Amino acid sequence: MLLEAPSSSLKAVPGRFVAQNCTTLNPGDAVISGFVTNGGAAGVAGVSVELCNVAQNLVAARTTSASGSYAFRFTAQGFYTVQVVSPPGYAAQPPVTPDVKMFDEVWVDFPLSAQ
């Protein structure tokens, strides 16, 4: 990962990975992350990805980066549903429900298919 660190903020180098400010992270925090792609290798930017708890209440939402990546970092363990709000022209994708524990790094990729 290539980062620039002017003063106390971190910035992603264009065309590379997204930077995370690590000063507030706990190594035990669970992470759900992944990519939304166009069905091939290309990431799809600007797609909404939602994280819901077992009661199906929205916990957080992210918008994919230019590379199609997203990430949720949190401390509460349990089952979560990750779903993509399919953009126009793409078919709806089924949600994924992983059981997340401390220290877990869960990958959930969503390959979109054209309608």
**For 59-100, how does the pLDDT look when each residue is reduced to its tens digit (9 = 90+)?**
999 999 999 999 998 778 899 999 999 999 999 889 999 999
Whether the CA torsion 8, 10, 11, 13 is positive or negative: it is positive
CA 71 to CA 17: how far, in whole Å?
Answer: 12
**For 5-55, how does the pLDDT look when each residue is reduced to its tens digit (9 = 90+)?**
444 444 444 444 555 555 666 667 788 999 999 988 899 999 999 999 989
Do the bridges between strand 105-107 and strand 30-37 make them parallel or antiparallel, or are there none, so unpaired? parallel
For domain 24-111, the CATH architecture is: Sandwich (2.60)
88 Cβ neighbours under 8 A, 6+ residues apart: none
The model's pTM is 0.75
- Give, as one character, the DSSP assignment of residue 115: -
